[in-house]
Structure 1
Amino acid sequence: MTQVGEGHETAADEAGPVLTFGAPTVGEILAERYQLEQHVNNDSAGRQVWRGIDVVLRRPVAVVLRHPGGDSAAEMLQAAVAASRVLHPNLVGVYDAIDEEQRAYVVREWVDGESLRDLIAAEGPLDPARAIAIAHSVADALTAVHATGMVHGNVHPGTTLIGDDNRVVLADARADAADSVEADVRAVGGILYFALTGHWPHTEVGRSALPDATRDSAGNPAAPRQIRAGVPAYLDDLTMDLLDRRVAAPAAEALTAELGRLDAAAEEEEFEDVGPLRFVQGGGTSSEPARSAPKIMLGVGALVIIAIIGLVFGIRAISNSSKPNASPTSTVDANTGGQPGTDDPSDAPQGDPVKIPLTEDMVRIVDPPQGDRDDTGESKYVVDGDQDTAWKLSYFKQPNFGGRKAGMGVLIHLPEPRALSDVRVYTSAPGAAIDLRVGDKDPGDTSKGDDTIVKSYARLSDGDGAVNTGDKQILDGFDPDKKYQYVLVFLTKLPRNEDTPGYQVNVNEIELYGF
């Protein structure tokens, strides 16, 4: 039985080493009130989870213990205090938060049941009606949280608990500055996707890692209807719209209303006849069925493209008729301009991206000043096609390379500029912050040259804002109308190594995709 979720863990990792408190004993009473009855498990953030008894009110409680307390436990305690202010039947009640300096603990409601993660592991994907009911409860809980101005920040199959009485409750809020209302709402799409397919469409972390979604060459998850039969089209559309960042996310209350409509239809056994979605991307619901935004935009986009093509050909026809000796239009030189990405609209990418073969002579390690450059030559291991070989970084006492330098990376130098799609980085462990940068030249394999690269290359994606939580990272941001020749995959923060004290990661493989 899981009583604490194992989703978003960066807050705990950032606070420093999280060690389980050394062997609390059965029968021990905390704060002269909470008696420990049974050690349930250790959650993925390194905290002990106990079933206990409130000896004053004689009710079961869950006790989450962390060592040490003090400043390093402040974020956990603050999240608990914030969660205690929101009372809702689909939120786990938080009763107490205590800091004893050498240890800290949160006391909350005990739920007899199991997490959605464990339920799916035991029973497999759920039928659509039950998946909707669970997502409806989670969205309703988020509506209450957001109404107070707070964010949950940890909506996950491990924090979604299913009681023995079928009550669905959301536990273990861990919001930090990187979380948002939108992320909460999109995570409901993840809950739907997981309930319907048994796979998690978002990046995952550590020991709590869930089976990853089946993905296409661009890293996009396959729709539930592509994975299993029997998923209604409108539920499939709703799930994928929530996961698609190109589609505006609704307010939690609008999503709750739509899921409530579908939930009610399932209870009345009219599930198959419920019809198209009434969900409106502006954040509310309409009285008439509405087509999903992606289909509307595709239709409008197609009409606009047809109109533009007709206009262009019309103008060319008029121009050519008035200038019978006009010379053919010349193409733009892809190597002109000296910019990180060179404009070449006449040769825009077409079709699906393909893997670009990378060889040893096309990559090198970038180690800016204050680095010892001992890793020179190890770049060959990230392009040899063998996941068992790797560029093994050194150990550091702090995640930001000991505070000695901005980071380290791999420079990819293509023989000639070309249109690119994304870079895929495979690491030995989750938690590394990686960003993608581009430039127009390699100033040289020296400390000075590496310093110039780090300072001058333009960032296409930023790994400093939040630690990436999967051991496979897909980095994009390339302009489809530009070509690139020099690409830097740059690590700015290292994860804690579980086997040896310190921060360290191996880069097993780097793949570049383009057109």
Structure 2
Amino acid sequence: MTQVGEGQEADEVAPPALAFGAPAVGEVLAERYELAEHINDDSAGRQVWRGVDVVLRRPVAVVLRYPGGDSAMEMLQAAVTASRVIHPNLVGVYDAIDEEDRAYVVREWVDGHSLRELVTDGPLEPARATSIAHSVAGAIAAVHATGMVHGNVHPGTVMVGDDGRVVLADARADGADTIETDARAVGGVLYFALTGAWPHVEANLSGGRGRSALPDGVRDANGTLAAPRQVRAGVPAYLDDLTMDLLDPQLAVPSVDVLAAELGRLNAAAEEQYLDNSGPLRFATHDEGVGAPAPPTGTRKIVAGVAALLVIALIGLYFGINALNDKGSTDTAAPPTPPGVSSPVGGGDTPAAQAQKIAIDASSVRIVSTGTDRGEELDGAAAVVDGDVNKGWESDSYNGPKFANLKSGMGVLIDLKEPRTVKSVTVHLASGGVTAELKSGDINPASSKAADDQIVNTYKIVGEPYERAGSNMTFSAFDVTQKYQYLLFWVTDMDKNAKGEYRLGIQEITVQG
């Protein structure tokens, strides 16, 4: 596949003439990364190689530039920034090295094809386009959760693995990139997947620089972009509306986590015919009511009508509950102001709920293990929620990976004490190279081997597992319409740590709700 370079769409060109610092097949960089095959060069002069990590014996992609030094600073800084975010739909960044005569970034190798390559055979089916956009939005949401911007979302940086996994590569934000351009770029990805054309709305899409090789969308005599349904048959109305809303500069886009949740809903229920009638999330104008055009009829009227009925019902329910609570009271004070209604004295709209850390104490966590040895290894779970990332819990040392095949895995069970809406779970590990997943369930039996087996076998996976990931993991694929009480961080495999031991170490777990 085309393994795109850092920050640019890769162009298939011949390798440059050999020069000082030029790499060669078989060369080992940093005494660890062996170069196996030159893949391509990007438009910024960076070489992309398939390599092998000779220590961990895994394939890697090496993005190399020579000379290094100041000329490679942007590439290295972008890699360092990207390495801070761990997500199943983001390409993992393993290393960034500057040797002055050349600099290189080592990242995850993905067997598959870029979205740009997939569409050369024709536009994708709507269901597959929705699934890819959902994965891309989830990856961007993880980046935004750290306060960063991706800034390089386009068909060349969206990769679809042979195993079906979708990953986003090569973050490269600069002063021109914002969370809004990232969100609008999801619309560009949808448009490209559905039509085979990239909408060149450079002011509204991130990654607008250097993308002229991609064909523009079909436009009328006035330059207005044609909607996907006008380009090809079979595109559902709800998907057409969502795509064009994201590309419309007059409409404000939602946050990407909200967009990811909406795409998840459409992706999960793509076969349901009712979506054609009810319509998806729709957006408001930037300056609603001030010279704004009237909203179109159809699905927007339905959504507005339902919303109005819900507001009336909630206000009525609020007054009804307060009337019951105040029955028999002699208090003659003015009635309370319902949420969303201005108070006559110092009142205002109720602010939207913000994600916050859920308090977890020692009584809320315990170690889960499917092995027969249930000794001191199960003690000390409190250290993973003590707020100190320098202190943690660790397992016994094993003679090989996969816990030397003595058990199917180990992990930490978290009891939130009551059903809660969960936004993300972040885990800090003592070392990387861990294969893990997050599960949820509705039982928490007393600790025993049989009970732990039951937990592992009945809990359902949340999102996608991590394979040989770094030392930090964030799970954010939670259903916003569901509540969770019991969560299980579950590890099935691990590499050797810095001491050469197969030992699992969990430093800290935080839950945002």
Q: Within 5 Å, which residues of 2 pair with 1:229-378?
A: 229-266=233-270, 269-270=271-272, 273=275, 275-281=277-283, 296-297=294-295
Does residue 52 in structure 1 map to residue 54 in structure 2?
A: no
Q: Is the 8 A contact 1:20 1:65 kept in 2?
A: no
Q: Within 5 Å, which residues of 2 pair with 1:32-51?
A: 32-51=31-50
Q: Return the alpha-carbon distance in structure 1 between the equivalents of residues 31 and 273 of structure 2.
A: 52
Q: Is the 8 A contact 2:238 2:275 kept in 1?
A: no
Q: Return the alpha-carbon distance in structure 1 between the equivalents of residues 172 and 148 of structure 2.
A: 11
**Long gaps (5+) in structure 2:** 10-17, 203-207, 286-291, 298-513
Deviation for aligned residue 1:69: 1.1
Show the counterpart of 1:347.
Answer: none
Q: Is the 8 A contact 1:249 1:281 kept in 2?
A: yes
When structure 1 is superposed on structure 2, of 87-96 and 67-76 the one drifting more is 67-76
Deviation for aligned residue 1:230: 0.6
Show the counterpart of 1:67.
Answer: 66
Residue identity (%): 73
Deviation for aligned residue 1:74: 1.0
Q: Report Cα offsets for 1:387-424 as digits up to 9, x if no partner.
A: xxxxxxxxxxxxxxxxxxxxxxxxxxxxxxxxxxxxxx
Q: Within 5 Å, which residues of 2 pair with 1:362-511?
A: none
Distance 1:110 1:186, change over 3 A: same
**Long gaps (5+) in structure 1:** 10-18, 284-293, 300-515
Q: Return the alpha-carbon distance in structure 2 between the equivalents of residues 43 and 20 of structure 1.
A: 17
Q: Is the 8 A contact 2:137 2:260 kept in 1?
A: yes
Show the counterpart of 2:132.
Answer: 134
Q: Is the 8 A contact 1:154 1:172 kept in 2?
A: yes
Q: Report Cα offsets for 1:136-177 as digits up to 9, x if no partner.
A: 000000000000000000000000000000100000111111
Letter in 2 for 1:281: F
Deviation for aligned residue 1:22: 5.5
Show the counterpart of 1:82.
Answer: 81
Letter in 2 for 1:61: V
Q: Return the alpha-carbon distance in structure 1 between the equivalents of residues 293 and 128 of structure 2.
A: 27
Q: Return the alpha-carbon distance in structure 2 between the equivalents of residues 28 and 209 of structure 1.
A: 33
Letter in 1 for 2:224: N
Q: Return the alpha-carbon distance in structure 2 between the equivalents of residues 49 and 31 of structure 1.
A: 17
Q: Secondary structure at the residue paired with 1:275?
A: helix
Deviation for aligned residue 1:219: 2.4
Q: Return the alpha-carbon distance in structure 2 between the equivalents of residues 58 and 198 of structure 1.
A: 37
When structure 1 is superposed on structure 2, of 24-33 and 270-279 the one drifting more is 270-279
Deviation for aligned residue 1:45: 1.9
Q: Is the 8 A contact 2:134 2:264 kept in 1?
A: yes
Q: Is the 8 A contact 1:44 1:208 kept in 2?
A: no
Distance 1:21 1:235, change over 3 A: farther
Q: Secondary structure at the residue paired with 1:64?
A: strand
Q: Is the 8 A contact 2:6 2:75 kept in 1?
A: no
Q: Secondary structure at the residue paired with 1:105?
A: strand
Show the counterpart of 2:446.
Answer: none
Q: Is the 8 A contact 1:250 1:282 kept in 2?
A: no
Q: Report Cα offsets for 1:23-79 as digits up to 9, x if no partner.
A: 411110001110101111112221100000111111110000011211121111111
Deviation for aligned residue 1:126: 0.4
Show the counterpart of 2:185.
Answer: 187
Moved over 4 A (4+): 5-9, 19-22, 203-208, 271-274
Q: Is the 8 A contact 1:20 1:66 kept in 2?
A: no
Q: Is the 8 A contact 2:8 2:210 kept in 1?
A: no
Deviation for aligned residue 1:278: 3.8
Q: Return the alpha-carbon distance in structure 1 between the equivalents of residues 95 and 182 of structure 2.
A: 24
Distance 1:230 1:67, change over 3 A: same
Distance 1:5 1:277, change over 3 A: farther
Letter in 1 for 2:261: A
Q: Return the alpha-carbon distance in structure 2 between the equivalents of residues 21 and 223 of structure 1.
A: 50
How many equivalent pairs are there?
280
Show the counterpart of 1:211.
Answer: 215
Q: Return the alpha-carbon distance in structure 2 between the equivalents of residues 275 and 144 of structure 1.
A: 31
Which residue, 147, 156, 168 being the options, matches 2:145? 147
Show the counterpart of 2:4.
Answer: 4
Distance 1:97 1:149, change over 3 A: same
Show the counterpart of 1:227.
Answer: 231
Deviation for aligned residue 1:277: 2.9
Q: Return the alpha-carbon distance in structure 1 between the equivalents of residues 142 and 169 of structure 2.
A: 13
Deviation for aligned residue 1:100: 0.8
Letter in 2 for 1:4: V
Letter in 1 for 2:272: E
Q: Return the alpha-carbon distance in structure 2 between the equivalents of residues 187 and 116 of structure 1.
A: 14
Q: Is the 8 A contact 2:151 2:178 kept in 1?
A: yes
Letter in 2 for 1:144: A
- CA-atom RMSD in angstroms: 2.7
Q: Is the 8 A contact 1:42 1:49 kept in 2?
A: yes
Does residue 171 in structure 1 map to residue 172 in structure 2?
A: no
Q: Report Cα offsets for 1:330-385 as digits up to 9, x if no partner.
A: xxxxxxxxxxxxxxxxxxxxxxxxxxxxxxxxxxxxxxxxxxxxxxxxxxxxxxxx
Letter in 1 for 2:167: V
Q: Return the alpha-carbon distance in structure 2 between the equivalents of residues 25 and 178 of structure 1.
A: 36
Distance 1:191 1:5, change over 3 A: farther
Q: Return the alpha-carbon distance in structure 2 between the equivalents of residues 254 and 65 of structure 1.
A: 36
Q: Return the alpha-carbon distance in structure 2 between the equivalents of residues 6 and 98 of structure 1.
A: 14
